[in-house]
Structure 1
Amino acid sequence: MRTVRESALDVLRTRGMTTVFGNPGSTELPFLKHFPDDFRYVLGLQEAVVVGMADGYALASGTTALVNLHTGPGTGNAMGALLNARANRTPMVVTAGQQVRAMLTMEALLSNPQPALLPQPAVKWAYEPPRPADVPPALARAVQLAETPPHGPVFLSLPMDDFDATVTEEEDQAAQVTAARRIEHAAAPRPETVRSLADRIKRAGSAALVVGDDVDASGAWEAVLRLAERGGLPVWAAPASARVSFPRTHPLHRGELPPAIGPLTRALDGHDLVVVVGAQVFRYYPYVPGPYLPGGTELVLVTRDAEEAAKAPVGNAVVADLGVTAQALADHFPACDPAPVPDRPTKAPQTADGPLPPGTALAAVVAGAPANTLWVNESPSNVPQFHEAARISAPGSYLFSAGGGLGFGAAAAVGAQLGAPDRPVVAVLGDGSVHYAVQALWTAAAYRVPVTFVVLSNARYAILQWFAQLEHAQGAPGLDIPGLDIPTVAAGYGVRSFRAAGAGELTKLVRDATGGREGPVLIDVPVTTELPSL
């Protein structure tokens, strides 16, 4: 008879999940021993970094990531990153070791007394199999749940003595059959629903589209683009977007909606119909009160997420596949030639003494990066300047955390590069953000992952200074972070590091790093502070 470990590994092979992101502890060693040659183990030095790397890997590769954590303490360390993964709708199976079953009742050291409760509400499902033989089918079920829209992380607690237990031939075969199942999630709306919405768009005096992260994540980019062009619809990006879901060079693109109720409503003034595709209605913060929509404006949400439809404060909703629905809507409009995409503007690097303005620095970074760059952003106060400089116009080219917690950027960039090895990955990070996942630099160096980290350093949490203004909280402590020597920190982890003295040098450093691809490079860029505005 075979062991639970052998059966579980075959389940993972069947699902193509042979990369394990982890930080091992004693309760995980029984799973990891005799690690098979066809699996890859990616070590992170802290569990939040482990989950962040898996997050970026899944989003960049379009696959489901596998994470291995150390029982309760490791899961606790990872919770912030798991909340980000939940907000990012990342398909991820998180496993954590558990004490041997014989000592669970007495809650021996390293027992997780509430394994299904601890990771809530960051996961879609949390489970500890009741018997060792249930571990392989539980893994198979976990993958299916992670991949069911809305995608998200799931959690399994696995007692350490389960892996050497045996399974019968029937139990083993049943687990493999379960793992081999494929489920297609492509629910189509009723034809009359599509026809009614298309007629509403045609009758509207000024209809608009708002596109969200799930357009890019679900592969609906081309269908939504076709709908916008055929319908002549101006397109807004949903507030606080974590992905780019419509080409930012397109003549119909109107920018990103502000993430507050009152300002967002003012931005939509003049539109009598708003069709939201693949976005929450809406991702608000900070609180600036006002009506949810301009007077006389109607809203329709198209989403794959029934919960997202239920919690929207306004408008009707259609729960269906985004690409199928957008294509069906587009078919109700006459075909037209695709709009020409303007050439990406290039700006000559500017010379300046001292710290660079963020826009100047980001333009220099973009000038040095290849056209097919996959961008990871965690410089919250500089997001508008980034989009103005990069003007991303291809799907699958931008990752930002939808969860609002820092620590995603550096870790996700390492995972994204592992998940998309044929594309250059450039991470734009704040000097405050980078330290939430600074251990990711070690993984990048140890595995020679050729990420280019660009750190915009202004010695402060600038986004918090902006919030302090909005919330009338001036004088709050802890918003300045002087004395950071990020190149030295990076060098300590084994990453080649530089400090750019000007825009021209910055462009050259980025060009050399993304062209050489000989391992990770960190470029520290002193910048001035420009606070956002609503």
Structure 2
Amino acid sequence: MIKRTVLDASRELLRELGLTTVFGNPGTTEVPFLTDWPDDFHYILGLQESTVVAMADAYSQATRQAAIVNLHSAGGVGHGLGSLYTAYRNRTPLIVLAGQQSRSLLPHDPFLGAMDAPEFPKPYVKWSIEPATAEDVPAALSRAYHVATQAPSGPVFVSVPADDWTATTERPVISRPRIRGFAPDPEAVAELAAALEAAERPAIVVGGAVDQDGAVTETVALAERLNAGVWVAPMSFRCSFPENHPLFQGFLDPERGTISDKLAAHDLVVVLGAPAFTYHVDRGRGEAPLPPLFIVSDDEHLLARAYEGTGIRATPKLGVRALLDVVGQNSRPAPAPLQRPAKPSGDKLTGEFVFSTLTDLLPDNAIVVEEAPSHRGVMHDHLPITQTDTGFLTIASGTLGYGVPGTVGAALGAPDRKVIGVIGDGSSMYGIQALWTAARQDLPVTILIMDNSEYAAVRIFGDSIGSEKLPSTELGGIDFAALAASMGCQGVTITEPAGLVPGLTAALDDKRPTLVHIRVTSSEESPY
């Protein structure tokens, strides 16, 4: 056998797996991994660990491939945990490769040492390890990749002591075959098909896993064959059905009573690639009734915790294809199409006006990255996402800090597509460092900062439950255009409705990374 270093063996494996783009913010414990950096590897530098995790998350989503992010021992992993939680909720196949102090120092609780390193990111990783010996590192990386990419996909964690990389090994590099999707039990499919045949007013609820599995085309075909209305699951992190389709019915809110009201017209609901359901608020209506449910998911934990319904385990594409094989064209009348609000007049620079204007200007095949919680409702009304091949990315976790770095990561992953970020002013400050990376990588991204000078989602929610004297929701005073310029991006400020079309048109046409600071009128509409 050929004797080589663990570093050389690991790089051989990473090449084979297509993991030659590494996101990171380096520290001393990562120096042995980074030394003699290969010319065929690409290192994406971010200025804070949470931002590089979010970049890697969106990059993975845009490429539909696993991604690797290199973090600094305990402190760096700690900084990245908020975005790692988002990656877990987003089902992102992320390999977190963390540095660790040298093995010879670990018994002495050294400076920068990570105690119980594999335990730190739990439970928000699918698998976590610090290899027992240096020679185990390549095998651990191989296993990490395959655990991350198996359905349901998600992040994994590998902690590597600094001196492991220079150790020698004669072990072969084994990458293992990738496990693909899995189909449902035929008897379960037959049961669902019979229920659909008997139903008079069926509906489909789609979640982010449908687009993540590339199953949107099949889902559209199923909805059309059934003449079934299609709803989007609460807090969905991708667009899994074209929002201009006549069968599209709208969005479910993360509250049991509202979901009950919206689904009351249906006598059967098939949930595809989503929990049934994700809740965020409790308005005191208790267990409001739901129609009979069938839940098709690749996640056994999601199916196990469902309070009601019949679970069918399958990856979304193979699950929907199995249904298409057994259900015929149904002649039941289709539900009435969704009626959208009229386009606002533009006398005020509201979120509604911004989104309706962006709809008119949005390039074909664009990717929209969103993190503007207080504007989510009006965005749904006025910015229909019609590009369903990774046309929309957001957070399933509710943890802020994804939007700006997510825009950067998506642009790195899809260089042939225009990427537009729509970010709240408060949200943006959790990951604003990513502007520096956008400039360094010369990415033609357009980032819209929706500045209503407050944490509006918090204030509106407080108002809705009768809170008084809620502290620390007021913001303002940030010059985002100047901040962008200081990091090497173009900065534009729009304060009047008349400046929106020319300002957005110029920004979207600009090949440089551009931030558009829009001072919007505060909204009183709850995002939920």
| TMscore range, shorter length | over 0.9
- Pairing 1:383–2:385 present: no
- Pairing 1:218–2:213 present: yes
Structure 1 unaligned segments of length 5 or more: list them.
none
Task: Show the counterpart of 1:512.
Answer: 506
Task: Show the counterpart of 1:450.
Answer: 444
Task: Show the counterpart of 2:473.
Answer: 479
Give the length in aligned residue pairs: 518
Q: Secondary structure at the match of 1:161?
A: helix
Name the amino acid aligned to 1:110: L
> How far 1:335 moved relative to its partner?
4.7
CA-based RMSD of the aligned residues comes to 2.0
| Alpha-carbon distance between aligned partners in 2 of 1:454 and 1:300, rounded to the nearest angstrom | 39
Q: Relative to structure 2, which stretch is displaced further, 507-516 or 4-13? A: 507-516
- Equivalent of 1:492 in 486, 491, 495: 486
Name the amino acid aligned to 2:264: D
Kept in 1: contact 2:343–2:353 (CA 8 A): no
| Alpha-carbon distance between aligned partners in 1 of 2:287 and 2:242, rounded to the nearest angstrom | 26
1:300-329, CA deviations, whole angstroms, 9 ceiling, x for partnerless residues?
100010011011122110011211221221
> How far 1:507 moved relative to its partner?
2.6
1:284-315, CA deviations, whole angstroms, 9 ceiling, x for partnerless residues?
011224354536x2111000100110111221
- Equivalent of 2:262 in 256, 267, 288: 267
- Equivalent of 1:429 in 423, 430, 434: 423
Percent of aligned positions with the same letter in both sequences? Answer: 39
Kept in 1: contact 2:55–2:409 (CA 8 A): yes
Task: Show the counterpart of 2:26.
Answer: 24
| Alpha-carbon distance between aligned partners in 1 of 2:216 and 2:182, rounded to the nearest angstrom | 17
Kept in 2: contact 1:268–1:294 (CA 8 A): no
Task: Show the counterpart of 1:311.
Answer: 305
| Alpha-carbon distance between aligned partners in 1 of 2:77 and 2:180, rounded to the nearest angstrom | 30
> How far 1:151 moved relative to its partner?
0.8
Q: Secondary structure at the match of 2:319?
A: helix
> How far 1:185 moved relative to its partner?
2.5
TM-score by length of 1: 0.93
- Equivalent of 2:16 in 14, 17, 26: 14
Q: Secondary structure at the match of 1:432?
A: helix
Task: Show the counterpart of 1:67.
Answer: 69
| Alpha-carbon distance between aligned partners in 2 of 1:24 and 1:306, rounded to the nearest angstrom | 37
- Pairing 1:366–2:366 present: no
> How far 1:235 moved relative to its partner?
0.8
Kept in 2: contact 1:265–1:291 (CA 8 A): no
- Pairing 1:187–2:182 present: yes
- Pairing 1:278–2:301 present: no
> How far 1:130 moved relative to its partner?
0.7
> How far 1:348 moved relative to its partner?
8.8
- Pairing 1:58–2:60 present: yes
Task: Show the counterpart of 1:156.
Answer: 158
Q: Secondary structure at the match of 2:312?
A: strand
| Alpha-carbon distance between aligned partners in 2 of 1:411 and 1:531, rounded to the nearest angstrom | 28
Name the amino acid aligned to 1:117: E
- Equivalent of 1:39 in 28, 38, 41: 41
Task: Show the counterpart of 2:86.
Answer: 84
TM-score by length of 2: 0.95
- Pairing 1:101–2:103 present: yes
Q: Relative to structure 2, which stretch is displaced further, 469-478 or 426-435? A: 469-478
- Equivalent of 1:459 in 436, 453, 458: 453
| Alpha-carbon distance between aligned partners in 1 of 2:230 and 2:458, rounded to the nearest angstrom | 29
Name the amino acid aligned to 2:222: L
> How far 1:532 moved relative to its partner?
3.1
| Alpha-carbon distance between aligned partners in 1 of 2:210 and 2:292, rounded to the nearest angstrom | 21
> How far 1:273 moved relative to its partner?
1.2
- Pairing 1:5–2:7 present: yes
1:88-141, CA deviations, whole angstroms, 9 ceiling, x for partnerless residues?
000100011100000101111011011011111121111000111111111010
Name the amino acid aligned to 1:469: D
Distance 1:16 1:347, change over 3 A: farther
Structure 2 unaligned segments of length 5 or more: list them.
none
> How far 1:467 moved relative to its partner?
1.4
Q: Secondary structure at the match of 1:109?
A: coil
Kept in 2: contact 1:350–1:504 (CA 8 A): no
Q: Secondary structure at the match of 1:438?
A: coil
Task: Show the counterpart of 1:135.
Answer: 137
| Alpha-carbon distance between aligned partners in 1 of 2:474 and 2:448, rounded to the nearest angstrom | 20
Kept in 2: contact 1:347–1:363 (CA 8 A): no
Distance 1:448 1:103, change over 3 A: same
| Alpha-carbon distance between aligned partners in 1 of 2:274 and 2:342, rounded to the nearest angstrom | 33
Distance 1:203 1:293, change over 3 A: farther
Q: Secondary structure at the match of 1:448?
A: coil
Name the amino acid aligned to 2:373: P
Task: Map residues 238-277 of structure 1 onto 2, 5 A cutoff.
Answer: 238-277=233-272
Q: Secondary structure at the match of 1:111?
A: coil
| Alpha-carbon distance between aligned partners in 2 of 1:190 and 1:154, rounded to the nearest angstrom | 29
| Alpha-carbon distance between aligned partners in 1 of 2:100 and 2:384, rounded to the nearest angstrom | 47
Name the amino acid aligned to 1:17: L
Q: Secondary structure at the match of 2:422?
A: strand
- Equivalent of 1:199 in 194, 199, 214: 194
> How far 1:336 moved relative to its partner?
8.6
| Alpha-carbon distance between aligned partners in 2 of 1:64 and 1:507, rounded to the nearest angstrom | 38
- Equivalent of 1:523 in 502, 516, 520: 516
